[in-house]
């Protein structure tokens, strides 16, 4: 039976707008208070919603996409990672048009600034299994990626990235995930790509909205962007943001220390599905 507990949502609506990095479509997003967890809907079509659940993941190709066969929502990870960072349990996310959350500047800092201006409200309502405390180690291999999670009194992420053709970009970072650390150490980190990826991705019909204004682009000559890096290890910090967004799809507040080596959205989701099975988590919502 659901237990009553503290549930957090936003007091007032929040709106932001930008361009979809893959679609190139300019759109806006409105976050609305909700007592029913995190879900997505399209403007003018509020009878079809998609819960932010790992069971609803449809694609992990250059971003995480969820859907239900009738509609889909892509590039959700930065927004969901921010909601996790703010410990927000419920909002309804309304997308004006298209199928993609706007990329903004490639980071989550603009969403953070919007949320900082409003009040997060706490409610005492019935909810199921809000917290998952890791009580035993669990590890998982997926191709070249490795994942492990260990007992810890708090949420900690250790992430390593390494690229065969760019050994200088090997980066490792460990961060305790708190609201303060999320705002200062994680949210500002921008998404990135390698120059040799650009043309093949465009031939696939992707990154139509990609530019040096919303992505770091790296080549053999170094960073192509004229703006300086926000952190010397900005790349791996962005990976932590991506992982937090994917982690949020478990629908639980996780207490544990995650260690990830060379992950990506596909391996993140594969690991989290295995973790869900390991801990026998019930479906959060699938509709």
Number of domains in the chain: 1
Q: How far apart (Å, rounded) are the C-alpha atoms in residues 154 and 189?
A: 22
In a domain, 88, yes or no: yes
Catalytically annotated residues:
265
CA proximity to 63, closest of 22, 31, 30: 22
Residue 47: the pLDDT is 82
In a domain, 164, yes or no: no
Residue 280: the pLDDT is 81
Which residues are paired to 90 by β-bridges?
A: 9
Q: How far apart (Å, rounded) are the C-alpha atoms in residues 287 and 170?
A: 40
Residue 247: the pLDDT is 98
Cβ–Cβ under 8 Å, residues 117 and 228: no
Q: Could you list the residue range(s) of the whole structural domain that residue 39 is in?
A: 3-128
Q: How many CB atoms lie within 10 A of CB 246?
A: 26
Q: How far apart (Å, rounded) are the C-alpha atoms in residues 29 and 15?
A: 6
pLDDT < 70 stretches in the chain: 1-4, 126-129, 282-287
In a domain, 26, yes or no: yes
Domain at 73, CATH number: 3.30.230.20
In a domain, 32, yes or no: yes
In a domain, 75, yes or no: yes
- CA dist 189 → 21, 51, 116, 135, 216 (Å): 16, 26, 18, 31, 10
The tokens describing 201, both together, are 């991705």
């Amino acid at each position: 039976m659901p237990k009553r507990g503290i549930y957090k949502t936003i007091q007032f609506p929040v709106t932001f707008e930008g361009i979809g990095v893959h679609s190139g479509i300019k759109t806006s997003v409105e976050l609305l208070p909700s007592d029913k967890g995190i879900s997505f809907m399209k403007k003018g079509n509020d009878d079809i919603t998609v819960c932010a659940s790992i069971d609803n993941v449809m694609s992990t190709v250059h971003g995480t996409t969820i859907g239900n066969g009738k509609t889909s929502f892509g590039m959700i990870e930065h927004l969901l990672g921010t909601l996790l960072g703010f410990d927000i349990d419920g909002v309804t996310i309304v997308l004006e048009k298209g199928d993609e959350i706007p990329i903004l500047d490639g980071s989550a800092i603009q969403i953070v600034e919007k949320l900082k201006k409003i009040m997060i409200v706490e409610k005492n309502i019935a909810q199921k299994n809000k917290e998952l405390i890791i009580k035993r180690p669990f590890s998982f291999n997926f191709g070249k990626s490795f994942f492990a999670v260990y007992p810890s009194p708090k949420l900690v992420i250790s992430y390593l990235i390494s690229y065969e053709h760019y050994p200088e970009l090997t980066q490792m970072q460990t961060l305790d995930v708190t609201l303060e650390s999320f705002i200062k150490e994680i949210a500002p980190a921008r998404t990135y790509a390698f120059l040799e990826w650009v043309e093949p991705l465009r031939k696939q019909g992707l990154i139509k909205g990609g530019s040096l204004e919303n992505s770091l682009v790296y080549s053999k000559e170094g960073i192509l962007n004229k703006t300086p890096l926000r952190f010397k290890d900005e790349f791996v910090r962005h990976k932590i943001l991506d992982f937090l967004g994917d982690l949020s799809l478990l629908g639980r507040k996780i207490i544990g220390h995650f260690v990830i080596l060379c992950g990506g959205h596909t391996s993140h989701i594969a690991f989290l599905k295995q973790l869900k099975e390991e801990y026998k988590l019930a479906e959060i919502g699938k509709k």
